[in-house]
Structure 1
């Protein structure tokens, strides 16, 4: 059986140059077994002819809310009711703004407002538009509604700018859709009743009012873990350093900045947590003195004196009682050796080791290549996977250990 057999997907195509990719997406979704019904905005139809989508989806293409090809039904209500998923790709800044504010002035936005099906968006736009506060605010509102997002890629955009805003490739979108339905069809929510504490992102240690020490962590791995745990029924608390990521829906977000703030937040949540997954990249050192005013440039070299910062993971390992504690070891050499040492030294139950110097495994990437190590000496290597897939496999491994079962050679 094909992975999307029996699933009806309403594909919304809005008016951007990336609309041409939606044609390939339609084909790939259909090949995966989905029944695809395409809605195009009037602007989208100026980039790609509706006939293209009709040929690829083997069905009618809807462009005008006032056209009713079947008199027995109201088209936008019929599509909204029958959809298993509404997928909008590309989702332009315009259509995102309309949906965030409940505007329904065409076939696509009216259908979205009428549906009770899950909604997934793949944004695509100029990098400056993507980072505009209005767009960020609208994306946050849609996140709060429970909408899911497939992040745009980075690179050369059609407008000539280089940056984030390129529509995810059709293969990536199909993979996200398949993964979504796999989550929905789980026989049980295997983390229901569990409270999961996740840390994510970098920390910032102030030097003076305008400077700080930080690292390249993006928070993507921790956010993926929080999202995956919530999807499996857990009550999730996400303690996050500064990132540009929208918080996962239905997850309690505790924003922090410094190591001390993260330490305080984690210790407050620890007693009521069942599982602790510390994926944050926390500063090991912090300035001994934080200057009240901006430090002025001198003639000679500057020496910055640092003190050891609180070791949050070590403290969690010492304080844990019933909690299952997982740490991360991001290394660039002797990865497994360093990870095993950290596992023992900090009294962890499991550690996730990754070589951040590898292509596809570095901080900020959308994929990861990791090895899971346990206190029992087990070692399971995972191939390059999306961070969400790594998150689910990590949770699978944790559940096996909580049930006192050995890890298989391949998860």
Structure 2
């Protein structure tokens, strides 16, 4: 077993979860990672990259489901979930992060579907769950969350301009979105779209989230965007125009003006899921580094790479920052279990700001150790690095989380000053 449960949390992990962790570890190491080359070879060419899903994914989904490795992400308070705590799932997501493209898909635990399924499970009506949640849970379809906009600074979601206007028994949607992950996938059958149903009153109660079937007239996928040259087909990150897109009024989620409430419920756990998987990706990067520096055929100045002091330093610091980040993430997951995502805002924010930086530093060191080869497709490092860089934007840029942590810390200042003043009078 490659993955071990940190002793700090071992007593909080159920016997059932420990068994799942052991099975998942074997599945990722012996099935998912070896399948990565086949996955890339099975990708379509040219325009077919957006029409064809590598068959190996469906094969692995069947295996994962037969092993009980399915929909592990929904916490135990959801009847549709696997009955795990956030802390238990955190350890599993770390393992999935070792094969970041394949393992989450194979286990039906990949973004953006996880967040969208949680929205349906938490806020959806019975009809909405029947139509969309069940096929998502079955892994029969995929989904996208359309929030980010090209024309405004949508890291402040109050700036979002997409219009959701009620006309009779329909809502009419007009707007321009981009970086919509998963929208290029032929399996993507539904979008959750965030826009404004009002431009008046409280700026945090103007936004709404609405269900839009992907085949609705008026939707135009303008282009798939690239990240440092990677298009991430077939899922992609798309620029999309919505022009007079009409859906029935029952497609609104929770009600008009509830958009911020919904995205906070969706993004809290989702942000942590990204962090969890990033720990696994960092571990993979360090593993590749260790294999490279101990390769006897690679010698510089008469020594294998591991015999150079700077290399030892890179290894040591990589191990240290991975474990620092791991405990930060596990603490945040445990806090969510105890008080909910809203009560764990500071812990989630700290993890979301720290972990992507950690991952980039580890991968950059591993790329450097691999020389020019580290920049190529001969190793997974370059693609992993490109993905890691997106995490400094995904689910809110670093600056937003750092500000939030600072504001939450500042709330303690008044009590601290009172204590200091009291001591000074003694």
| TM range, smaller chain | under 0.3
| Structure number with higher relative contact order (C-alpha < 8 Å, ≥ 6 residues apart) | 2
Q: TM-score, normalised by structure 1?
A: 0.27
Higher relative strand content = 1
Higher relative helix content = 2
